[in-house]
Structures are given as structure tokens and as C-alpha cells.
């Protein structure tokens, strides 16, 4: 650590508290993250000071009744979510997210195609948001995928907006916020989102500018969440932002997403670490140590990767995230969000087949592996790191290392938070 760190720390702290004392001008900005129970990250551990909005994911759509429901397992966590995260940051706003990547998309298409089922969806969503103390609703229908479905999506959004406006005036409560998580581009494989309906109905959309490449659906490696694509040949966050703006959505309604999980590949000639391409964190650790993996930040695409032999792992490191946040700011976007806040979870990692990783863990791990912080990675007891998620779990980490990591993590968060103002 250089000797200037303590000074910049003091400056950061001062600046941070200065920002906290600012009145509500930051209200319109979105610095968001998703939380979901399966991450096993306790809600009480979310440091909500870093966020303006938190998304509680996911409520479900019942394909029989077309009503939104919260599973009985999730109910206790959902109903206390807002109260819990507001303890650390009373002004943080919460949105209940509906659907998600593994939800039944036919059920959404079917619900949205018909006025009666749309009404069931809308009324039940509002009822659930209110009875569980959320400030808004977020629709994660991945994805409307035909012209007819896009049309229904637009109709649903317009009716949803009218309903929350009416409910607010009926009850004299602040209107529920409405958001949706959408494809990174307004053009979903040549099917266009109804940008006008989106613009007039939603407070903002969360652009899922990630998962561009992944072991489950790509045959070649590529930056999983590139911000730029110099050749314009493939997907990128910037291309998506430009497409949405061109389609008519104001930049102030766009929120750029970045992932907190890596994409992993093993070349077909190499021995796959796991058949489905998902690996546990312990396996990455072992992989890096065993293979002396090289880590690279590609400033052209804005993405990080590490590799050794035939194995390649793409992810977003500190620099990538900071660059994306700066980009969002420069473009006048509403803000940014990450999937998912449970990056500080440790037990979630250990679940077999989990594809969710802890960005921070991996970052520190790679730094250490590179030897640019500690002279020897092994000295710090790699063998003793038998537990998963050594960062948050404190498994076998010497105190100094842990403190240093907490300090680094704090710096990154501060940096990102302060940058987006």
C-alpha cells in the first residue's frame, strides 16, 4: 500500500459524508443491485448505504391465475426486506422484481395477451408491493420474443402505469415506482421493444448488458459483458444504450447493468472442470494456483479475463466496473445496477452447480495470485483456505489479509459510489 492511501481515505470519507448530507438531488439517480434469497446472502448484511435502490428478486407469476405470488419460503424475507435494508439507509428504495431468467416465459406471454389476465397480474402486483412494504415493482420478463409479445408487453406497461397512478391517488400514497429488466438492446434478435410504451410507462429500464457470451450458449470465448465492441460485430453495452436511445427512450430512463459473476470456458480439447461450464469458487482458486493463470484487463472492450492453458474466465474487475460507471455518467444515463449484491455471500458459492460468484473474491484472489500485493500467495495459506468464499467467510484468512481486503472492497465501493454523482 502506498503512503498516500490514508490521505485519500480521509478525503473519501469526508466526501462521502458530504454526499450523504446532500438533499434529495441524488434521489433521481439509480445505484442499484439485485438481491435474491437463493444467494444465501443475509439481507441484514446488505450495506444499503451504497445504493439508492434495491431489487428483491423474484416474485412469481402463477400461470393458472395470472396473479403475482411470493413463495411461502420467500415470504418472510420479502415482507421484512424494506424494513431491514432501511435500517442502514432510511432513504433507500426497494422494488419487488417479478419473473427472472428461469421463470416461465410462456406464462408472461399468455398473461400479457389478454385484458383480464393483465388485470389480475397488475392488481395482484400492486397489492403485494403494498402489503410487503415495497416502493415499486420491476418486471423481469426474459424476454418478449415476437412482435405480438412485444405489443402485449407495451399494453401491459401502459395499463400498469395507469393502475399505479390510480392506486396512488386513491390511497394518497406516493406512486409505486415501475421498472423492468430488459435485453441490453431495444432490438431483441430483430424483434423491437415498444420503446414509446416503455418511455411513457416506466420510471426506467435495467439494461442487462451481460451474459453476451457464456459456456452454456456460446461456442467461442468472448467478453461476457463488453462495454465496447470495436468491430461492432457483436453485442456490447454501448451498442445497446445507443439502440435504446435511437428507438426513442431518453437516456435518463436507462440504467446500465453489470454482472458480478464470471463466465468460464474450457476449450473442448482441455479437460472441462465441470460438464456444464459452471464451477465452484474453490475450483477457480485451485485452477489459478495450479496453472499460474494470467490476468488481463482489456481497456478496449472494458472487461477482464484470466487464462491458463485452454481455460479462459471472463469477468468484470474493479477497473471495468469503474469504467462502466463513468460511462453511464458521461452518457447521462439514470444510473447503474449490478447482479447481484450477494457478491459478499460465502455459502452460496459452495452450492454445487452454482454459477454465481463473488466478484470481489475473485478480484482479490487474482491480485494476490499475480503477486502484486503480497509477495507470495502461498505464504498466506492457500491450503488453509479450505472454506468457500474466503473473503466474507473469513475462513482461514490471516487477520491482516482480511483487513486489507475489507479495506480494498470498501475503496472500490466508495470509488464507484462517489464517481456516480
Ligand X SMILES: *[C@@H]1O[C@H](CO)[C@@H](O)[C@H](O)[C@H]1NC(C)=O
Instruction: Determine, following the binding rule CB under 6 A, whether residue 155 of this chain makes contact with ligand X.
Output: no
Of residues 138, 140, 142, 167, which one binds ligand X by CB under 6 A? 167
Instruction: Determine, following the binding rule CB under 6 A, whether residue 113 of this chain makes contact with ligand X.
Output: no
Task: Decide if 289 contacts 390 (C-beta within 8 A).
Answer: no
Instruction: Determine, following the binding rule CB under 6 A, whether residue 158 of this chain makes contact with ligand X.
Output: no
- Using the minimum distance from each CB to ligand X, give the nearer residue, 96 or 107: 107
HEC letters along the chain: CCCCHHHHHHHHHHHHHHHHHCCHHHHHCEEEEEECHHHCCCHHHCCHHHCCEEEEEEEEECCCCCCEECCCCCHHHHHHHHHHHHHHCCCCEEEEEEECCCCCHHHHHHHHCCHHHHHHHHHHHHHHHHHCCCCEEEEECCCCCCHHHHHHHHHHHHHHHHHHHHHHHHHCCCCCEEEEEEECCCEECCEECCHHHHHHHCCEEEEECCCCCCCCCCCCCCCCCCCCCCCCCCCCHHHHHHHHHHHCCCHHHEEEEEECCCEEEECCCCCCCCCCCCCCHHHHHHHHHHHCCEEEEECCCCEEEEEECCEEEEECCHHHHHHHHHHHHHCCCCEEEEECHHHHCCHHHHCCCCCCCCHHHHHHHHHHHHCCCCCCCHHHCHHHCCCCCHHHHCCCCCHHHHHHHHHHHHHHHHHHHHHCC
Q: How far is the CB of 173 from ligand X (least distance, A)?
A: 11
Q: How far is the CB of 298 from ligand X (least distance, A)?
A: 4
- Using the minimum distance from each CB to ligand X, give the nearer residue, 205 or 420: 420
Q: How far is the CB of 16 from ligand X (least distance, A)?
A: 6
Query: How many CB atoms are located within 10 Å of the residue 334 CB?
Result: 23
Q: How far is the CB of 412 from ligand X (least distance, A)?
A: 5
Instruction: Determine, following the binding rule CB under 6 A, whether residue 80 of this chain makes contact with ligand X.
Output: no
Of residues 80, 84, 319, 350, which one binds ligand X by CB under 6 A? 319
Instruction: Determine, following the binding rule CB under 6 A, whether residue 322 of this chain makes contact with ligand X.
Output: yes
The one segment of 102-110, 195-203, 343-351, 383-391 that binds ligand X by CB under 6 A = 102-110
Instruction: Determine, following the binding rule CB under 6 A, whether residue 298 of this chain makes contact with ligand X.
Output: yes
Catalytic residue among 38, 40, 142, 368: 142
- CA-CA distance, 121 to 368, in Å (whole number)? 49
Binding mask 3-42 for ligand X (x = CB under 6 A): ----------------------------------------
Instruction: Determine, following the binding rule CB under 6 A, whether residue 49 of this chain makes contact with ligand X.
Output: yes
How do 136-140 and 68-69 pair as beta strands?
A: unpaired
- Using the minimum distance from each CB to ligand X, give the nearer residue, 46 or 385: 46
Binding mask 299-318 for ligand X (x = CB under 6 A): -xx----------------x
Binding mask 240-279 for ligand X (x = CB under 6 A): ----------------------------------------
Of residues 170, 172, 219, 232, which one binds ligand X by CB under 6 A? 170
- Using the minimum distance from each CB to ligand X, give the nearer residue, 247 or 322: 322
The one segment of 293-301, 351-359, 381-389, 397-405 that binds ligand X by CB under 6 A = 293-301
> Three-class SS of residue 127?
helix
Of residues 23, 90, 230, 275, which one binds ligand X by CB under 6 A? 230
Helix 115-131 / helix 105-112 crossing angle, nearest 10 deg: 110
Instruction: Determine, following the binding rule CB under 6 A, whether residue 296 of this chain makes contact with ligand X.
Output: yes
- CA-CA distance, 80 to 266, in Å (whole number)? 42
Is residue 142 among the annotated active site residues?
Answer: yes
Q: How far is the CB of 17 from ligand X (least distance, A)?
A: 8
In which residue are the cell numbers 416502493 written?
Answer: 135
Instruction: Determine, following the binding rule CB under 6 A, whether residue 218 of this chain makes contact with ligand X.
Output: no
- CA-CA distance, 256 to 237, in Å (whole number)? 8
Of residues 245, 345, 412, 420, which one binds ligand X by CB under 6 A? 412
Instruction: Determine, following the binding rule CB under 6 A, whether residue 411 of this chain makes contact with ligand X.
Output: yes
Instruction: Determine, following the binding rule CB under 6 A, whether residue 419 of this chain makes contact with ligand X.
Output: no
Active-site residue list: 142
| Residues near ligand X (CB under 6 A) | 47, 49, 63, 104, 106-107, 110, 163, 166-167, 170, 230, 296, 298, 300-301, 318-319, 322, 408, 411-415
Amino acid at each position: 500500500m502506498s503512503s498516500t492511501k490514508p490521505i485519500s481515505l480521509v478525503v473519501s470519507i469526508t466526501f462521502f459524508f458530504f454526499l450523504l448530507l446532500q438533499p434529495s438531488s441524488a434521489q433521481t439517480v439509480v445505484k442499484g443491485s439485485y438481491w435474491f434469497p437463493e444467494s444465501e446472502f443475509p439481507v441484514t448484511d446488505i450495506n444499503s448505504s451504497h445504493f439508492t435502490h434495491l431489487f428483491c428478486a423474484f416474485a412469481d407469476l402463477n400461470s393458472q391465475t395470472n396473479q403475482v405470488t411470493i413463495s411461502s419460503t420467500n415470504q418472510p424475507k420479502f415482507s421484512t426486506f424494506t424494513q431491514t435494508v432501511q435500517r442502514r439507509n432510511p432513504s433507500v428504495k426497494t422494488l419487488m422484481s417479478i419473473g427472472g431468467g428461469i421463470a416461465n416465459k410462456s406464462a408472461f406471454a399468455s398473461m400479457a395477451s389478454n385484458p383480464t389476465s393483465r388485470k389480475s397480474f397488475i392488481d395482484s402486483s400492486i397489492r403485494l408491493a403494498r402489503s410487503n412494504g415495497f416502493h415499486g415493482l420491476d418486471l423481469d420478463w426474459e424476454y418478449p420474443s415476437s412482435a405480438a409479445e412485444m405489443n402485449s408487453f407495451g399494453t401491459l406497461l401502459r395499463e400498469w402505469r395507469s393502475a399505479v397512478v390510480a392506486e396512488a391517488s386513491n390511497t394518497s400514497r406516493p406512486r409505486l415506482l415501475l421498472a423492468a429488466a430488459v435485453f441490453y438492446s431495444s432490438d431483441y434478435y430483430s424483434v423491437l421493444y415498444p420503446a414509446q410504451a416503455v418511455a411513457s410507462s416506466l420510471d426506467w429500464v435495467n439494461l442487462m448488458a451481460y451474459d453476451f457470451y457464456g459456456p452454456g450458449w456460446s461456442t467461442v470465448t468472448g467478453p461476457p459483458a463488453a462495454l465496447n465492441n470495436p468491430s461492432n460485430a457483436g453485442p456490447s453495452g454501448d451498442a445497446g444504450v445507443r439502440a435504446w436511445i435511437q428507438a426513442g427512450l431518453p437516456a435518463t430512463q436507462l440504467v446500465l447493468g453489470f454482472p458480478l459473476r464470471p463466465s468460464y470456458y474450457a476449450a473442448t480439447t482441455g479437460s472441462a472442470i465441470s460438464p456444464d461450464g459452471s464451477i465452484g469458487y474453490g475450483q477457480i482458486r485451485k485452477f489459478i494456483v495450479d496453472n499460474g493463470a494470467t490476468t488481463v484487463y482489456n481497456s478496449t472492450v472494458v472487461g477482464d479475463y484470466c487464462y491458463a492453458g485452454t481455460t479462459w474466465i471472463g469477468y468484470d474487475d474493479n477497473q471495468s466496473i469503474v469504467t462502466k460507471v463513468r460511462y453511464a455518467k458521461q452518457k447521462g444515463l439514470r444510473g447503474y445496477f449490478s447482479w447481484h449484491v450477494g457478491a459478499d455471500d460465502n455459502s452460496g458459492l459452495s452450492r454445487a452447480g452454482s454459477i454465481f460468484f463473488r466478484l470481489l473474491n475473485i478480484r482479490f484472489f487474482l491480485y494476490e495470485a499475480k503477486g502484486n500485493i503480497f509477495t507470495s500467495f502461498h505464504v498466506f495459506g492457500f491450503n488453509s483456505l479450505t472454506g468457500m468464499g474466503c473473503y466474507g467467510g473469513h475462513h482461514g484468512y490471516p487477520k491482516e489479509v482480511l483487513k486489507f481486503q475489507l479495506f480494498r472492497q470498501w475503496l472500490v465501493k466508495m470509488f464507484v459510489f462517489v464517481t456516480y454523482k
